[in-house]
Amino acid sequence: MNSQYTIAVHCLIVLAKTPDHVWNSESLSQKVHAHPARIRKIMSSLRKNGLVETKEGLGGGYRMGCDPRACTLARIYQSISCEPLKLSWCATGCAQDPEFDRIRSVMDFAFTGAERGLEEYLDHWSIDSLIKRTEQSVTQEPETMAAGINEQMNAHIKKIGGEG
């Protein structure tokens, strides 16, 4: 998972906490420790997905573009499209091998399911819930959430037929 994702989340937390303030790329970059041009690029992706509002010109900048309760880690994930589960195959020579094609199809199939499960899981976390959690200092074990998601994954397996 590249840092674009964590920076995007960090920025959205900052924006959600200050709904009335317009941040420019310079001030945001200081807040989240990344280069202003990089902030602009990331914010631009988030704008295209309706997560932030951007405004050009004098006095312009960034502000929250959606309800923090609806701004889930899944939507951010889709906006950034970092594809951490994308399979990478060896550099050369795979194309000619028909056996390899079949292996790749099946693996891609399995990991499409994995990706979908991940997105469903991430959909349970919103910027709002993250902020609330940072405000409570006590942490609870992740078991509960993992258990809930396991049900969904089992449903998915059943639907697409993981085991034979």
Give the Cα separation of 58 and 157 in Å (integer). 52
Of all residues in the shown chain, the one whose CB is closest to ligand FES is 10
Q: Site residues for ligand FES, window 25-44 (CB under 6 A)?
A: 32-34
Binding to a second copy in span 8-67, by CB under 8 A: 9-10, 13, 32-34, 49-50
Q: Which of residues 82-121 bind a second copy (CB under 8 A)?
A: 84-94, 97, 99-103, 105-121
Burial 21-45 (b: 16+ CB within 10 A, else e): eebebeebbeebebeeeebbebbeb
- Tell me which of ligand FES, DNA, a second copy, none is bound by residue 67, counting a contact when its beta carbon lies within the kind-specific cut-off of 5 to 8 angstroms: none
Q: What minimum distance in Å lies between the beta carbon of 112 and a second copy?
A: 5
Where do the DSSP E strands lie in 4-91?
52-55, 61-64
Q: Is 79 in the site for DNA (CB under 7 A)?
A: no
